[in-house]
Amino acid sequence: MPGGRPLGEDIEVDVCVVGAGIAGISTAYRLAREGKRVAVLDAGPVGGGETSRTTAHLASAVDDRFTEIERLHGLDGSRICADSHARAIDAIEEAVRAERLACDFERLDGYLFEGGDDSGVSLAEELEAARRAGVAGVVRLRRTPVERLDASCLLFPRQGQFHPLKYLAGLAHAIVRDGGRLHPETLVRDVEEDRPARVVTKAGPVVTADSVVVATNAPFIDRFAIHSKQAPYRTYSIAARVPRGSVPHGLYWDTMDPYHYVRLAPSAADEDLLIVGGEDRKPGDDADDEERLEELERWTRERFPVSELRYRWAGQVMEPIDGVAFIGRNPGRHENIYVATGDSGMGMTHGTIAGLLITDLIMERENPWARLYDPSRVTLGALGRFLRDGASVVGTLAEWFKSGDVASVDEIAPGSGAILRRGISKVAVYRDREGRLHERTAACTHLGCVVAWNPVAGSWDCPCHGSRFDPYGRVLAGPAVADLKPPSAS
For the CB of residue 463, give the shortest distance to ligand FES in the complex, in Å. Answer: 8
For the CB of residue 443, give the shortest distance to ligand FES in the complex, in Å. Answer: 8
When the beta carbons of 245 and 448 are compared against ligand FES, the nearer one is 448
- Give residues in contact with ligand FES (CB under 6 A): 444, 446-449, 462, 464-467, 479-480
When the beta carbons of 129 and 444 are compared against ligand FES, the nearer one is 444
3-state secondary structure of 211: strand
For the CB of residue 462, give the shortest distance to ligand FES in the complex, in Å. Answer: 3
When the beta carbons of 67 and 341 are compared against ligand FES, the nearer one is 341
The H or E element that residue 213 is part of is strand 206-214
For the CB of residue 419, give the shortest distance to ligand FES in the complex, in Å. Answer: 14
When the beta carbons of 250 and 478 are compared against ligand FES, the nearer one is 478
Select from 482, 483, 447 the least CA-distant residue to 464.
447
User: Which are the contacts of 169, defined by CB distance < 8 A and separation ≥ 6?
Assistant: 1, 2, 46, 47
Q: What angle do CA 13, 97, 2 make, to 5 degrees?
A: 45
**Rg of the chain's alpha carbons, rounded to an integer?**
22
For the CB of residue 194, give the shortest distance to ligand FES in the complex, in Å. Answer: 25
Select from 296, 315, 321, 317 the least CA-distant residue to 306.
296
For the CB of residue 477, give the shortest distance to ligand FES in the complex, in Å. Answer: 9
When the beta carbons of 200 and 447 are compared against ligand FES, the nearer one is 447
The half-sphere exposure of 413 on its side-chain side, counting CA atoms within 13 A, is 4
Q: Terminal CA-to-CA distance of the chain, rounded, Å?
A: 39
Burial label for 296, CB within 10 Å (0-12, 13-18, 19+), is buried
Strand order in the sheet with 425-431: 416-422, 425-431, 437-441
For the CB of residue 285, give the shortest distance to ligand FES in the complex, in Å. Answer: 16
For the CB of residue 480, give the shortest distance to ligand FES in the complex, in Å. Answer: 5
For the CB of residue 444, give the shortest distance to ligand FES in the complex, in Å. Answer: 3
Q: Spell out the alpha helix ranges (H) of 243-400.
A: 289-303, 347-362, 370-373, 383-397
Rounded Cα distance, 340 and 357, in Å:
10
The half-sphere exposure of 91 on its side-chain side, counting CA atoms within 13 A, is 25
For the CB of residue 478, give the shortest distance to ligand FES in the complex, in Å. Answer: 8
Q: What angle do CA 196, 33, 79 make, to 5 degrees?
A: 90
Residue 123: C-alpha distances to residues 14, 114, 118, 119, 489 (Å):
47, 8, 13, 10, 55
When the beta carbons of 77 and 478 are compared against ligand FES, the nearer one is 478
When the beta carbons of 216 and 237 are compared against ligand FES, the nearer one is 216
When the beta carbons of 408 and 490 are compared against ligand FES, the nearer one is 490
When the beta carbons of 11 and 225 are compared against ligand FES, the nearer one is 225
Rounded Cα distance, 134 and 153, in Å:
18
Burial label for 29, CB within 10 Å (0-12, 13-18, 19+), is buried
When the beta carbons of 65 and 446 are compared against ligand FES, the nearer one is 446
